[in-house]
Amino acid sequence: MAYSAKIGPSILSSDLSCLGSECVRMMECGADYLHLDVMDGHFVPNITFGHPMVECLRKTVGQDPFFDMHMMVSRPEQWVKPMAAAGASQYTFHLEATTNPGNLIKEIRESAMKVGLAIKPGTTVEELAPWANQIDMALIMTVEPGFGGQKFMEDMMPKAGANMIVSGSAVIGSEDPRSVIKMLRDAVAEAIQKRSLDR
């Protein structure tokens, strides 16, 4: 199976007063999808935005951009239906935030969204493994959830290969986001190719 690199800027790093135009700008710069960080002030200390903002963004940018909702919330079950109605494409919840991942995965699928499952740096891949065949994407956090602009945790690299890369300030804060997106895509494609040759 051939894998390709997909780059999703985390829009939380944008100028929030111009969020719609920032989303359009990222897509025009070559982003494959948009990563939207939802924080509730409980699972992580910060608060960001919820489904009303997602609905507004969807109306602004249209149906094409893929919205990956990174739900850093303590009760992810609560927001599945509102996010689906708002136009979310994928609902990525934290394994650490639920006691019944299987039921939540089923509910997300029934709401016509793809399923993402995220783990914090301190959670092992083995804890995620039982759900791997039921999800569309695993998000291996390489920073602690809840704050932008953190330094990449290189010691997370052995956890898993990656072909969907989320980057916030490195892309959005760049003078030339298009070049950064291309550089990330090329680096991942090169690593995927090298790994294929090593097998």
Question: Catalytic site residue 37?
Answer: yes
- Residue 190 DSSP one-character state: H
At residue 138's C-alpha, the angle toward residues 190 and 126, to 5°, is: 105
Q: Please give the annotated binding residues for a divalent metal cation, written as ranges.
A: 35, 37, 70
Q: Which of 143, 139, 84 is nearest to 117 (CA)?
A: 139
* Alpha-helical regions (H) of 78-119: 80-86, 101-110
Q: Please give the annotated binding residues, written as ranges.
A: 10, 35, 37, 70, 146-149
Residue 156 CB-half CA count within 13 A:
16
Angstrom distance (rounded) from CA 164 to CA 142: 13
Give the pair of three-digit tokens for residue 184: 């990330």
Q: Please give the annotated binding residues for substrate, written as ranges.
A: 10, 70, 146-149
Active-site hit among 15, 32, 37, 40? 37
Active-site positions read 37
